[in-house]
Amino acid sequence: MTELRMPELKLDADGLVAAVIQDDATGDVLMVGYMDAEALRRTASEGRVTFWSRSRQEYWRKGDTSGNIQVPRSIALDCDGDALLIRVDQTGPACHTGARSCFFTPVDMVDAGEP
Amino acid sequence: MTELRMPELKLDADGLVAAVIQDDATGDVLMVGYMDAEALRRTASEGRVTFWSRSRQEYWRKGDTSGNIQVPRSIALDCDGDALLIRVDQTGPACHTGARSCFFTPVDMVDAGEP
């Protein structure tokens, strides 16, 4: 069995770090979930993205119910250790609404373009 | 003055949502910061990404000190209202270390490739 070197995570008050999930094929950001060290260890060792569900307070291996699994292709930790970026092969939609990405609601901006 | 329709944010225990910053030109994920409704309002109205700094407990308009500003090109809220995706024009490096992106530390994975 391969020994994984797990990085030191800087956990928030809930004991979690944010995990940004990016489509490895398109570069689209699909969703943000949360992980503790055990969720990261499972993700890296099982080859299936596993979050900690803040609402259900349990581990949540993405796709076990829906079939819309995420296979990690690379995992990176940020400079201060409190966020992960995971590039994945996404099967089906990432969002529970059926959308490919969870980020489908635009927020207004003041138009800063030239007249 | 343009009236901005601000979305309802689902704030965490600290009163914040995660904001994923993506390079609009390359698709690279540059960093994750945190925002409250006021930081989002400033970001959308001033055309400069502004975070709430959890360590310094103050608003932090990215680049005011370093010059490495972020100009938002689009802002999207996720399906459950607790994360933002902001595509930006990034001047200089996004990371305080001088790296283009904060996500430069790879995390080991068990090799799932074929033999």
CA-based Rg of chain B, rounded to a whole angstrom? 16
Q: Which two tokens stand for residue B104?
A: 């430069």
**How far away is chain B from the Cα of A32, in angstroms, using its nearest Cα?**
7
B23 among annotated binding-site residues: no
Model confidence pLDDT, tens digit, residues B72-112: 999 999 999 999 999 999 999 999 999 999 999 999 998 75
Closest partner residue to B109 (CB to CB) among A7, A31, A75 is A75
> Using the 8-state DSSP alphabet, how is residue A43 labeled?
H
pLDDT of residue A114: 45
Global pTM?
0.94
Contacts of B78 in chain A (CB under 8 A): 31-32, 102-103, 105
Is the CB of residue A13 less than 8 Å away from at least one CB of chain B?
A: yes
Give tens-digit pLDDT for A59-75: 999 999 999 999 999 99
The pLDDT of residue B3 is above 80: no
The number of beta carbons lying within 10 Å of the beta carbon of residue B84 is: 27
Rounded-to-integer distance, Cα B33 and Cα B16, Å: 10
Task: Specify the CATH number for B17-90; select among 3.10.20.810, 3.40.720.10, 3.30.450.20, 3.40.50.280.
Answer: 3.10.20.810
* String of DSSP letters for B87-103: EEEE-S-SSTTS-SSS-
Residue B19: predicted pLDDT: 98
pLDDT of residue B4: 80
C-alpha dist (Å) from residue A41 to A5, A38, A82, A86, B82: 9, 5, 15, 13, 25
| CB interface of A with B, residues 16-55, below 8 Å | 18, 20, 22, 27-29, 31-32, 40, 44-47
The bridge status of strand A105-106 relative to strand B70-77 is: antiparallel
Mean local confidence (pLDDT), A74-99: 97
What is the predicted ipTM?
0.93
* pLDDT tens, residue by residue, A44-62: 999 999 999 999 999 999 9
> Can you give the residue ranges of every domain in chain A?
17-90
Q: Evaluate if residue B114 carries a pLDDT over 80.
A: no
**In whole angstroms, what is the distance from residue A30 CA to residue A50 CA?**
15
Averaged pLDDT score across all residues of chain A: 93
CA distances from B113 to A2, A3, A36, A42, B104 (A): 13, 16, 25, 17, 23
Residue B39: the pLDDT is 98
**Chain B: residue nearest A98 by CA?**
B79
What are the tens digits of pLDDT across the range B10-61? 999 889 999 999 999 999 999 999 999 999 999 999 999 999 999 999 999 9
